[in-house]
């Protein structure tokens, strides 16, 4: 299924909104356990993991790099940078910006089966693959994050004469 058939709506997220939602996620994660390490899923999970690491005072920050999107099309996840833990990630916190179909989440779960997985946003197909999230969006919505967009001049409907 191409992106034209899959995504019927776009939801633009501002820097202020993602920061606010990451702080809400951090407050939900606080007290669950003492997190030993935070692992951001690159690239979308890097900014949320930095905000959450700051809020929860987690000093050890790592990444796992998975490639699965090309423009607005999701393909087969490809591990670009692996991560391993002798404990399977026990007391590790995995952060991503979004769980969509759950394909990336399943790959990361196979690498760190004992880690706690949190995303800022979740779609129905991906929800079963994460432990917690802040906001659910419909499966047919493309989320446009601020790091994937730029502000440009918008021409008025009617120009001054």
Q: Which one of the listed residues 21, 96, 131, 160 is annotated catalytic?
A: 96
Question: What's the N-to-C CA distance of the chain in angstroms?
Answer: 46
Q: Is 82 a catalytic site residue?
A: no
What lies within 8 Å, CB to CB, of 25 at 6+ separation is: 48, 52, 118, 120, 132, 133, 134
Task: Report d(CA 98, CA 111) in Å as an integer.
Answer: 18
Q: Is 62 a catalytic site residue?
A: no
Q: Is 97 a catalytic site residue?
A: yes
Q: Which one of the listed residues 97, 140, 148, 160 is annotated catalytic?
A: 97
Q: Which one of the listed residues 21, 82, 91, 100 is annotated catalytic?
A: 100
Q: Is 9 buried (19+), middle (13-18) or exposed (0-12) by CB count in 10 A?
A: exposed
Active site residues: 96-97, 100
């Amino acid at each position: 299924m191409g992106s034209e058939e899959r995504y019927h709506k776009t939801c633009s997220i501002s820097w202020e909104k993602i920061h606010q939602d990451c702080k809400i996620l951090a407050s939900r994660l606080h007290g669950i356990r003492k997190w030993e390490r935070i692992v951001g899923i690159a690239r979308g999970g890097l900014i949320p993991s930095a905000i959450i690491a700051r809020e929860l005072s987690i000093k050890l920050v790592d990444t796992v790099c998975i490639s699965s999107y090309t423009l607005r099309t999701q393909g087969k996840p490809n591990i670009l940078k692996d991560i391993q833990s002798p404990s399977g990630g026990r007391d590790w916190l995995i952060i991503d910006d979004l769980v969509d179909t759950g394909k990336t989440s399943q790959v990361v779960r196979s690498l760190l089966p004992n880690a706690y997985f949190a995303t800022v946003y979740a779609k129905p197909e991906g929800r079963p693959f994460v432990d917690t999230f802040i906001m659910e969006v419909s499966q047919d919505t493309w989320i446009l994050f601020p790091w994937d967009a730029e502000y440009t001049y918008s021409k008025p409907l009617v120009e001054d004469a």
